[in-house]
Amino acid sequence: MVEIEIFVYKDAEKILESKRLLQEIKSILLSVSKVDHIEIQEHFRLWGWALERYILKEVTWRWDAYKDKVAVSI
C-alpha cells in the first residue's frame, strides 16, 4: 500500500466532486501497491479512464488518464 498526499489546485477539488471523480481518484490511488507509473495507469484503465489521451490537436504530449473532461498526469 502506498501513502497519498492531496494537493488542491484552485477549484480542482470542487470540480472533481461535482463530477463524482474525487473519491474515485482517491480509491484508485489507494488501491495501488507500489509507486509505479504503469501500475497506476492500469488502475485508472480498470476504472474506465482512457489512457495516453491527446486533448488538444496543437500539442504533441498526452495526458496519462482522461475521463469526463478531466485529465490526470501521473
Q: What would the pLDDT profile of 40-72 be if each residue is shown by its tens digit?
A: 999 999 999 999 988 888 888 888 899 998 888
Please give the backbone phi and psi of residue 9, each rounded to the nearest 5 degrees, phi first. Answer: -110, 115
Could you tell me the pTM of the whole model?
Answer: 0.82
Task: Please determine, for residue 1, whether its predicted confidence score (pLDDT) is greater than 70.
Answer: no
Indicate the burial class of 49 (C-beta count within 10 angstroms; 0-12, 13-18, 19 or more).
buried
Q: How far apart are alpha carbons 61 and 50 in whole angstroms?
A: 15
- Residue 35 within a domain: yes
Give me the helix-helix angle, 22-31 and 37-46, nearest 10°.
130
With respect to residue 2, please indicate whether it lies within any of the assigned structural domains.
Answer: no
Task: Give me the domain span that covers residue 49.
Answer: 12-72
Number of structural domains found in the chain = 1
Is residue 45 a part of any domain in this protein?
yes
Cα 71 to Cα 1, 6, 10, 16, 27: the distances in Å are 24, 16, 15, 11, 17
